[in-house]
């Protein structure tokens, strides 16, 4: 399976070239960090990096499937924040109810997005923007405008803070999600339907594909993964965070686009999306090490500026590669 996944990076088109590029950039950044910083490849930094970035990898996976259909989901950050609050409120009943409550919250939000888009014919940008605002408002109402502490009497925090076989549990969760996503996209008819819809909904309908059902499933998947990310957020930091998640949708979109998936839909790669998420996370990990050396001093606000500029550069390069391949 690993060899098959690596073959997806072989440059056969502009999208494949971008996927190969993100993999090379990720490896180059790792080598740079290993040579420049003493503890860059220390077990502590590696495990901390994987534990924290698992949340972003999950929402990027859901966003990848949405963008492959030619849509967008701006609600993932708000849904994750709402799910973190709901899971924190349910955590006193045990880790399983806390996990289930957060995931169910995300699933319901995703189904709502899908229904509004498919049944009411509202554009995904507007529908998910409204859902994002509603999710943040609901999170603040449930949390009474403050963080909601999780219960430490149950094993709920183990979901985000413990390891299994020397590897962070959030990392295992994200790894399992990406394996499932790869199978769905590469080995199941559903994956081909997603790409066909991205190439053109009308054409997909003429082919006899269940367009509305597929779109509903895709947005439900995105919501479910955002809900799972919210559970990890609450479990890692010991509290539901109603104001967290701002900008998460941009991180997810950037990860997908950096991985070579066209914003117009019709193509994409699960493996390249994971590489894109890791690359963006690695960029900020390197910046944190640079801050520690004292050469530069970048606040979280400047990191947001860098993230936006990075996304803009990637989109411009992607557009030029697409135009060159079409000419």
**Statement: residue 144 has pLDDT above 70:** yes
pLDDT band at 289 (very low <50, low <70, confident <90, very high): confident
| pLDDT tens-digit map of 44-53 | 999 999 999 9
In a domain? residue 23: no
| pLDDT, position 256 | 92
**Statement: residue 288 has pLDDT above 70:** yes
| pLDDT, position 1 | 42
In a domain? residue 319: yes
CA angle 107, 96, 43 (to 5 degrees): 95
In a domain? residue 258: yes
Higher pLDDT, 177 or 304: 177
In three state form, how does the secondary structure of 285-326 look? HHHHHHHHHCCCCCCHHHHHHHHHHHHHHHHHHHHHHHHHHH
Higher pLDDT, 242 or 295: 242
In a domain? residue 321: yes
**Statement: residue 324 has pLDDT above 70:** no
| Count of domains forming the chain | 1
**Statement: residue 203 has pLDDT above 80:** yes
C-alpha distances in Å from residue 147, one per residue of 139, 179, 227, 239: 10, 33, 17, 6
pLDDT band at 5 (very low <50, low <70, confident <90, very high): very low
In a domain? residue 14: no
Which CATH number do you get for residue 208? Answer: 1.10.3470
In a domain? residue 317: yes
In a domain? residue 274: yes
pLDDT band at 18 (very low <50, low <70, confident <90, very high): low
In a domain? residue 11: no
Distance (Å, rounded) from C-alpha 307 to C-alpha 279?
11
| pLDDT, position 109 | 97
* Average predicted confidence (pLDDT) for the chain: 88
pLDDT band at 286 (very low <50, low <70, confident <90, very high): confident
Range of the domain at 215: 42-326
pLDDT band at 10 (very low <50, low <70, confident <90, very high): very low
């Amino acid at each position: 399976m690993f060899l098959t996944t690596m073959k997806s990076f072989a440059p056969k088109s502009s999208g494949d070239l971008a996927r190969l590029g993100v993999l090379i950039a990720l490896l180059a950044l790792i080598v740079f960090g290993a040579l420049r910083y003493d503890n860059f490849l220390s077990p502590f930094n590696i495990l901390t990096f994987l534990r924290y970035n698992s949340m972003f990898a999950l929402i990027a996976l859901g966003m990848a499937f949405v963008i492959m259909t030619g849509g967008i989901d701006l609600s993932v950050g708000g849904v994750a924040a709402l799910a973190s609050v709901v899971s924190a409120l349910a955590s006193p009943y045990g880790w399983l109810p806390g996990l289930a409550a957060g995931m169910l919250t995300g699933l319901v939000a995703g189904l709502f997005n899908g229904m509004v888009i498919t049944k009411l014919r509202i554009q995904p940008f507007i529908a998910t923007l409204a859902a994002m605002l509603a999710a943040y408002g609901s999170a603040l109402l449930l949390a009474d405008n403050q963080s909601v502490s999780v219960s430490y009497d149950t094993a709920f925090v183990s979901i985000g803070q413990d390891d299994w076989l020397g590897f962070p549990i959030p990392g295992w969760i994200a790894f399992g999600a990406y394996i499932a996503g790869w199978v769905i996209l590469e080995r199941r008819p559903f994956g081909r339907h997603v790409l066909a819809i991205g190439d053109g909904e009308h054409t997909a309908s003429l082919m006899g594909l269940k367009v509305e059902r597929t779109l509903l499933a895709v947005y439900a998947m995105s919501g479910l993964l955002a809900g799972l990310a919210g559970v990890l957020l609450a479990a890692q930091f010991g509290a539901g965070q109603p104001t967290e998640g701002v900008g998460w949708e941009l991180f997810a979109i950037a990860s997908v686009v950096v991985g070579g998936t066209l914003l117009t839909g019709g193509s994409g790669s699960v493996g390249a999306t994971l590489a894109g998420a890791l690359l963006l996370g690695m960029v900020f990990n390197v910046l944190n090490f640079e801050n520690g050396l004292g050469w530069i001093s970048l606040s979280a606000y400047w990191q947001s500026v860098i993230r936006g500029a990075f996304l803009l550069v990637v989109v411009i390069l992607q557009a030029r590669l697409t135009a060159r391949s079409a000419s």
